[in-house]
């Protein structure tokens, strides 16, 4: 006889995962394509502006007659302001809503970029760059916030693809673009280009992002903790940015920046423990995948330095200009559009995002090893093959990384609370900027140290009295004698040529070491990827529901 009672059916994997994901995005955009285009354009604009500023700093210094020490603060004024506004954007986004903040700051950035070419004094230039950093610094953290809370789930993989195309493409196309501006228009177009692009972003944000609902009344959040944290990160960022030039701990200015930044960060933590802020949920970040993905983001930013620092500098020591260096790195950007959307289709079809990360970092490691075959005879053309592979790796690694970050936000419950998603977004924004600057500081210090080591080691074999050295100086002196003011001048010029050759070889060995360092960073990233815990659902299941077989025929 059958029992009158039936055992309740155990919940399926899909039902459990849906419960873990919490609420669906509550503020779905009615025009998601415009909203997507607006926020990813914002991320691309700020990346392009920062990169063009780095490339155009020598022209800015020359046009205003700025010296080396003062010129070192041109890029810092923009980047430190970018770092300062990052944590504070959490407060602004919660108080005003992403739409209002983006509209205000995009309008401000357009005006500032139109006025910056008119700056004819050092103080006005630094002020304008700092304001531009404050305006554009809100774009990055609010991009992820908007993506998680406003974009329908089926659109997310393609949003990530478009985001990778704009951000990574802006980094790699900047040298060629700046070379075109300087040769055919004016170097001031490094500012005017943002003034042209930002209104397009502004229109997309205005029509594509819905207004935020009125906030519930409650205890007014305090901005003091955000101010302390922003000031602390900004001062530490400035210390790292100027550390190599100031000779690190031997400089009073570096010590002042570092310890004052550490003091402000300690003050923000103390205030957090004494008076918790309703807009910040730091315990939410204490999750295995969140921590591992944060480290992986820092490593990815470090691996990008192969394209941002090592390749341009390896060509610059031969006297190449930006437009001559550009063809070497633009190969990293060429496959982005196609590969990014191929990766998006893979995610939609159920591919594990960790596989994209693994493939991407593996390609970047192989490309770095190929670049480590560098010799002093290389030109931009020698990088075409390896940089094409590097572009494939950057595309897949970046999309896989951001896809895993989004999945972690969904299944950790970030969507269920506004303070959780704001804290989550700000955390990765701070890591992107501050961790990236730590990587730059490590790489620049590594290059300086290794160059001195190789110069000393090579110099041991280039001494007066050795027949090879004396023979080289004598032959060079004979060749230079006809265009020199006597034999002593010819000998002096010959010694200078030998020293230049020695320095070139020392830098060649240094850049080889740098490429090997990037390859090891990729290996560490691969190990971290292996330690990531799988998400309960992939993008296909999350967006469209489970397969019939898995769901038992019911969705």
- Domain 31-211 and domain 281-555, same fold? Reply is yes
Instruction: Pick the more confident residue, 198 or 316.
Output: 198
Tokens 């299941």 -> residue:
541
pLDDT for residue 51 is more than 70: yes
DSSP for 14-47? HHHHHHHH-SPPSS--SSHHHHHHHHHHHHHHHH
Q: Residues 6 or more apart from 469 whose CB is under 8 A from it?
A: 462, 463, 498
**C-alpha triplet 245, 247, 248: angle, nearest 5°:** 110
Q: Which of 243, 228, 270, 225 is nearest to 419 (CA)?
A: 225
- Is residue 267 helix, strand or coil? helix
**Residue 356: pLDDT over 50:** yes
What is the band of 492 on the pLDDT scale with cuts at 50, 70, 90? low
- When pLDDT is averaged across residues 18-29 and rounded to a whole number, the result is 49
Q: Judge whether residue 421 has pLDDT over 80.
A: no
Query: What pLDDT shows up at residue 479?
Result: 57
pLDDT at 543 over 80: no
pLDDT computed for residue 256 by the predictor: 92
- Mean pLDDT value across residues 119-124: 84
210 or 22, which is more confident: 210
**What does the pLDDT read at residue 190?**
86
Give the rounded percent of residues in the chain with a pLDDT score beyond 90.
9
Q: Tell me what the mean pLDDT of segment 462-489 comes to.
A: 59
pLDDT band at 524 (very low <50, low <70, confident <90, very high): very high
pLDDT confidence tier of residue 4, bands split at 50, 70 and 90: very low
Q: Tell me the CA end-to-end span of the chain in Å, nearest whole number.
A: 32
pLDDT (0 to 100) of residue 147: 66
DSSP output for 178-242: HHHHHHHS-TTHHHHHHHHHHHHHHHHHHHHSPPPPPPPP-SPPPSHHHHHHHHHHHHHHHHHHH
pLDDT of residue 181: 84
Range among 165-174, 367-376, 470-479 rated most confident: 367-376
Higher pLDDT, 551 or 545: 545
**From CA 72, how far away is CA 27, in angstroms rounded?**
44
**Which comes out higher in pLDDT, residue 236 or 458?**
236
d(CA 102, CA 131): 15
Task: Give the pLDDT score at 526.
Answer: 94
Token pair 């001031």 in the structure block, residue: 188
So what CATH class is 31-211? mainly alpha
**DSSP, res 194:** H
Both tokens of 221, joined, read 């959040």
Give pLDDT, residue 55: 82
Q: What is the reported pLDDT for 527? A: 94
Q: Bigger pLDDT: 517 or 21?
A: 517
Q: Which of the four pLDDT bands, split at 50, 70 and 90, describes residue 16?
A: very low
Range with the poorest average pLDDT among 38-52, 350-364, 467-481: 467-481
Going by the DSSP 8-state scheme, the letter that residue 412 receives in this structure is T
Residue 213 binned pLDDT confidence (cut-offs 50, 70, 90): low
Q: Taking a C-beta distance cutoff of 8 angstroms, is the pair 70, 193 a contact?
A: no
For the chain, the structural domain boundaries read 31-211, 222-277, 281-555
99 pLDDT more than 90? no
Average pLDDT, the chain: 77
pLDDT above 90: residue 522:
yes
* Pick from 285, 258, 267: nearest CA to 227: 267
Q: Look at 88-97, 310-319, 369-378, 403-412 and tell me which has the smallest mean pLDDT.
A: 88-97
Instruction: Output DSSP code: residue 283.
Output: G
Which of the two residues, 403 and 213, has the higher pLDDT score?
403
**pLDDT tens by residue, 302-355:** 888 888 888 888 887 777 766 666 666 666 666 666 777 787 788 878 788 889
Question: What is the distance between the alpha carbons of residues 319 and 555, in angstroms, rounded to a whole number?
Answer: 63
How would CATH label the architecture of 281-555?
Up-down Bundle (1.20)
pLDDT of res. 145: 66
Give pLDDT tens digits for 229-286.
Answer: 888 888 988 888 888 888 888 888 889 999 999 999 888 888 777 766 666 767 777 8
pLDDT at 166 over 60: yes
| Range 453-457, long-range pairs (CB < 8 A, 24+ positions) | 454/505, 454/506, 454/507, 454/509, 454/510, 455/502, 455/503, 455/506
pTM of the model: 0.81
Residue 499 has a pLDDT of: 63
Give the pLDDT confidence score for residue 194 in this predicted structure.
Answer: 87
pLDDT of residue 498: 62
């Amino acid at each position: 006889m059958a029992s009158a009672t039936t055992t309740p059916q155990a919940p399926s994997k899909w039902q459990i995962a849906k419960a873990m994901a919490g609420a669906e995005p509550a503020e779905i955009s009615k025009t998601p394509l415009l909203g997507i285009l607006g926020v990813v354009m914002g991320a691309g604009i700020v990346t392009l502006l920062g990169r063009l500023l780095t490339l155009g700093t020598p022209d800015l210094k020359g046009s205003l007659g700025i010296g080396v020490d003062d010129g070192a603060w041109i890029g810092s004024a923009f980047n430190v302001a970018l770092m300062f506004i990052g944590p504070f954007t959490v407060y602004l986004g919660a108080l005003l809503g992403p739409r209002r903040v983006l509209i205000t700051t995009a309008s401000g950035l357009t005006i500032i970029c139109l006025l910056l070419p008119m700056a004819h004094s050092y103080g006005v230039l630094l002020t304008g760059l700092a304001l531009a950093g404050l305006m554009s610094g809100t774009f990055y953290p609010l991009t992820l916030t908007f993506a998680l809370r406003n974009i329908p789930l089926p659109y997310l993989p393609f949003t990530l693809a478009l985001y990778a195309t704009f951000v990574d493409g802006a980094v790699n196309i900047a040298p060629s673009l700046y070379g075109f501006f300087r040769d055919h228009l004016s170097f001031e177009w490094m500012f005017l280009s943002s003034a042209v692009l930002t209104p397009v972003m502004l229109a997309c944000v205005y029509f594509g992002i819905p207004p935020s609902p009125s906030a519930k009344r409650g205890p007014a959040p305090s901005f003091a903790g955000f101010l302390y944290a922003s000031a602390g990160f900004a001062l530490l960022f400035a210390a790292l940015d100027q550390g190599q030039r100031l000779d690190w701990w031997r400089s009073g200015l570096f010590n002042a920046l570092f310890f004052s930044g550490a003091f402000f960060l300690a003050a923000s933590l103390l205030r957090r423990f004494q008076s918790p802020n309703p807009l910040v949920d730091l315990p939410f970040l204490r999750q295995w995948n969140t921590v591992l993905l944060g480290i992986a983001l820092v490593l990815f930013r470090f691996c990008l330095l192969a394209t941002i620092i090592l390749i341009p500098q390896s060509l610059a020591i031969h006297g190449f200009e930006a437009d001559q260096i550009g063809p070497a790195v633009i190969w990293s950007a060429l496959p982005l559009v196609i590969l990014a959307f191929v990766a998006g289709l893979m995610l939609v079809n159920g591919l594990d995002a960790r596989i994209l990360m693994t493939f991407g970092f593996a390609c970047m490691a192989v490309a770095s090893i190929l670049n480590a075959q560098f010799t002093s005879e290389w030109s931009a053309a020698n990088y075409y093959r390896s940089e094409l592979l590097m572009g494939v790796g950057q595309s897949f690694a970046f999309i896989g990384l951001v896809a895993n970050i989004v999945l972690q936000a969904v299944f950790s419950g970030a969507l269920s609370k506004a303070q959780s998603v704001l804290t989550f977004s700000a955390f990765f924004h701070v890591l992107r900027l501050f961790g990236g600057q730590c990587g730059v500081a490590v790489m620049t210090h590594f290059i300086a140290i290794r160059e001195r080591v190789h110069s000393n080691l090579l110099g041991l074999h280039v001494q007066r009295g050795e027949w090879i050295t004396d023979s080289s100086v004598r032959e060079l002196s004979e060749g230079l004698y006809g265009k020199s003011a006597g034999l002593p001048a010819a000998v002096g010029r010959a010694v200078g040529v030998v020293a230049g050759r020695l320095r070139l070889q020392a830098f060649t060995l240094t850049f080889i070491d740098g490429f090997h360092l990037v390859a090891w960073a990729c290996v560490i990233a691969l190990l971290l990827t292996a330690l990531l815990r799988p998400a309960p659902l992939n993008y296909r299941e999350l967006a469209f529901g489970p397969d019939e077989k898995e769901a038992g025929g019911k969705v």
